[in-house]
Amino acid sequence: MYSYLGLFLCILLVCCSVTPFSIIGSRRSILREVSNNEKSDHPDYAVELNATNFVDVLKDTPATFAVVEFFAHWCPACRNYKPHYEKVARLFNGPDAVHPGIILMTRVDCASKINNKLCDKFSVGHYPMLFWGHPPKFVGGSWEPKQEKSDISVIDDARTADRLLNWINKQLGSSFGLDDQKFGNEHLSSNISDFGQIVKAIYDVEEATSTAFDIILGHKMIKPESRVSLIKFLQLLVAHHPSMRCRKGSAKLLMSFDDLYPTDFWSTNEQEIDEVSLSNLQICGKDVPRGQWIFCRGSKNDTRGFSCGLWVLLHSLSVRIEDGESQFAFNATCDFVYNFFICEECRQHFYKMCSSVSSTFHKAQDYALWLWSTHNQVNDRLSKEEASLGTGDPEFPKTIWPPKQLCPSCYLGYDYRNKKIEWNQDEVYKFLTNYYGKTLASLYRDKNIVGNDRTDGGAEDLIVEATNAVVVPLGAALAIAIASCAFGALACYWRSQQKSRKYFRHPHSSKSI
């Protein structure tokens, strides 16, 4: 009897020890603070990996490089080395990282049985053992001691935090220091001719989307008069957001909108919302926002960030729509900014530019060029204000976009009499489509996560459940209808009809505000 009881307790202990790994295995645990099991004054910065999340985390990280430390928790040398490793990890990991988006610092405990095959795959022969490489190279990769050529390197001089950081600096040609503080980042790229920088903006687009909806819900900005404008903007996100997980979250929020905010919600005295349901509707996933910016990171704490990310989002939407959706996208964007952008002066300026448009947009190119021109007008106005007040970012001054370095063919000449640049607008549109469309989404394609280029199918990879309550124009509507059939034709048809009757028989645009 006691032997059976002992066996039962052993099984229970194993189950309890395995379960946390499935929880930790969240795909985007990259930028979370991992709790320290030992007594410490600060949390761990290095991300704990195991066999269940190793591939997903390294595949999904925005970092250019990764360091993987293989250790054993029972090893005294490993325990003594951990504070050194953490000193370096705090520079690159977590929402308070000094130099985010460059290196992902991770750890794998080889003393855990779940990691036996993973540690064998990298021929771990001593503890601690550190490897360096591009994150995708670790996915499906391996390492052998006698291997002549490998995309993964062993860090052979990392006994202390100083030595490890010196080794990293030699690899990157950087001069990071253990005492670096946030926003003291000489590695920050302000090189406007570096076309590849926009690739990492996909993470900032997700950050801006999530932050915008956190503000809307946190400040309870959804009112009877703004309800329809939010629904239309959500429809735009579902069909054309460059991030698949944001399309998925937007669709879930859109499908739940009637339950969260019924039409008679504001006529009741209580006006209580289901906080539990609302908290489960993170628009870009449960791990976004991450608390940091990469492409949109300023050289000072109070510059760039959210406003930059929001502009990139709007431009990315403008180059993904089709001709028949241009006026819808214009109205949805103008209404969204007017009703939900919390900076009063900014939204009034933007609304004024929206109101100055007297004709209807018939082509996607026309809307994309209008948004581009509007952004340049905003930059011109803000650059003068920032110059007089000294509030601008010295590393990222407001400028006319795109600069000649990025698109020489966009420039025809300069009108000295009117002090205006003469643009080749066809070339500008080609640039915008490539920059905010193909190049922006290339990081996903490179990592085989999802193709987001409109020419590769755009809205066709929408998740099935994301399309049930969506009604959008033309091409996007067709893609959504096809996907919806797979989910359930009758239920889908009923809900889409309900939405259509409620929202689209009452046109709403910035003109009627």
Name the residues annotated as catalytic: 75, 78
CA 337 to CA 177: how far, in whole Å?
Answer: 41
Place of tokens 């066809």: 426
| Residues ≥6 apart with Cβ < 8 Å to 390 | none
* CA–CA distances in Å: residue 511 to residues 8, 356, 359: 70, 10, 12
Rounded distance, CA 29 to CA 235, Å?
Answer: 29
Give the whole-angstrom CA distance, residue 130 versus residue 153: 9
Nearest CA among 363, 393, 356, 358 for reference residue 377: 356
Instruction: State both tokens at 244.
Output: 């698949």
- Token pair, residue 121, equals 């795959």
Q: Which residues contact 322 (CB under 8 A, 6 or more apart)?
A: 364, 473, 474, 475, 476
Residue 224 φ then ψ, to 5°: -55, -40
Which tokens in the block code for residue 504? 């689209």
The token pair at 256 is: 């739940």
Residues pairing with 106 in the sheet? 47, 68
* Residue whose C-alpha is closest to residue 373's, from 396, 350, 347: 350
